[in-house]
Amino acid sequence: MTEDTHSLPPAAQALIQKFQARQAKVGVVGLGYVGLPLAVALAEAGLNVVGVDLDPDKVAALNQGNSYVEDVPNSRLGALVESGQFTASASYEALAGVDGVSISVPTPLRKTGDPDISFIVAASQALRPHLHTGMVVILESTTYPGTTREVVLPELEAGGLEAGKDFFLAFSPERVDPGRKDWTTENTPKVIGGITSACTQVAAAFYGLAIQNVVPVSSTEAAEMTKLLENTFRAVNIGLVNEMALMCERLGLDVWEVIEAAASKPFGFMKFTPGPGLGGHCIPIDPLYLSWKLKSVKYNARFIELASEINTNMPRYVVGRIQDALNDRGRSLKGSKVLVLGVAFKPDVADTRESPAIDVIGMLMDKGADVSYHDPYVASLSEEDWTLTSVGDPVSAAGQADLVVVVTDHHNLDYPAIKEAATLVFDSRNAFDLAGRSDPKVIKL
């Protein structure tokens, strides 16, 4: 920050000095894919960190140095637990006396399509008794513009302290991409917007200890909107390329060949690839937060709604193509053995949140298929009406299946051996790298 800290309220000056001296104790609420890597990064930066999660099993595991998040190896976590730099608790009482708190709780959509911010409200209410002068609170949970100011701020100020003077409140969107090695919590730029300028500067001082590049913006709303723009950009472009796949199939063209050719242009084009649908907590959900918010100002977010419609229908499209492929070979989908390869929402992780594989498997079962799956990262998968366990040998399973469908293209699978064993494959991810080429065994999206 370029502003002179001498013009800040005394509580802000004292807190920034405490962070710079690495004498602060901080808390992280929500120890999932976002919160745990952040807690570890802050602890490794020299802060004393207490993590709060309401799941006692997670807390017990963490206090034994056992991580359930792939981006945090046990060796890293264990060293911090042993040194006392990091502890976990299932009680908000553990936050008594902390100098800063980052909140990373879930923000799902309700079945009605509107945002469920109940976890944010609950965290704010539970934190309020421990709020004190000279403390910063930063919300990271993805939400609609206005949440920090309209929801969190009133909850925290209800105790009599004033934001920007007594305590400091900001929003900083999480930018975690599970499984990445090149961009991590530490080197991914961190956008921060405060309720006031002082709030922004204090939050920047907090995160700047562990994160290499802090990007301040003018308000919490700007920071909230930044996150939604990032994920809406991806959702809309994935929707575009998914529709391109539908058009190419109608025109008898290979969409993968077309994409690779377009990607040869060194400017004005960014490569996106089609697939069986969107997965993960962010991309399928976050744009709908913005769409919902805009309805309150009588604006229809047409790009978002259209992209969501296309992306949401991709699992059904894939199942239809599978049914057609079997019909063309004289088989009915009902009674056929179908092996699904990959059920995580993206390659090389164990996260199945919003995975299109769940919809694909459910639809195949509804049509009478005998479905099994293999995923080296997901041992079992349960939904309301069914539970499956990953088969051990994908090559052997492929040889026993009437059709193999690639939903998630994990990189550690032996695709040539699977293709050799299989009778028929539907490849929704170009896992067999056949752009511009055909194979009698492989049907491409």
Q: Catalytic residue at 282?
A: yes
The answer to whether 158 and 151 have CB atoms below 8 angstroms apart is no
Residue 217, strand partner residues: 193
The answer to whether 300 and 321 have CB atoms below 8 angstroms apart is no
Which of these is catalytic: 282, 318, 418, 424? 282
**Other C-beta atoms within 10 Å of 279: how many?**
25
* Among 273, 146, 134, 262, residue whose Cα is nearest residue 198: 134
441-444's contacts with Cβ under 8 Å and 24+ in sequence apart are 443/321, 443/325, 444/254, 444/255, 444/256
How many whole angstroms separate alpha carbon 34 and alpha carbon 106?
A: 10
- Residue 19 class from Cβ within 10 Å (0-12 exposed, 13-18 middle, 19+ buried)? buried
Tokens read off for 414: 């032996």
* Among 86, 74, 92, residue whose Cα is nearest residue 40: 86
The answer to whether 163 and 133 have CB atoms below 8 angstroms apart is no
How many whole angstroms separate alpha carbon 355 and alpha carbon 342?
A: 10
How many whole angstroms separate alpha carbon 247 and alpha carbon 89?
A: 52
- Which residue in this structure is represented by tokens 């909107």? 225
The answer to whether 145 and 221 have CB atoms below 8 angstroms apart is yes
How many whole angstroms separate alpha carbon 355 and alpha carbon 24?
A: 39
Catalytic residues: 282
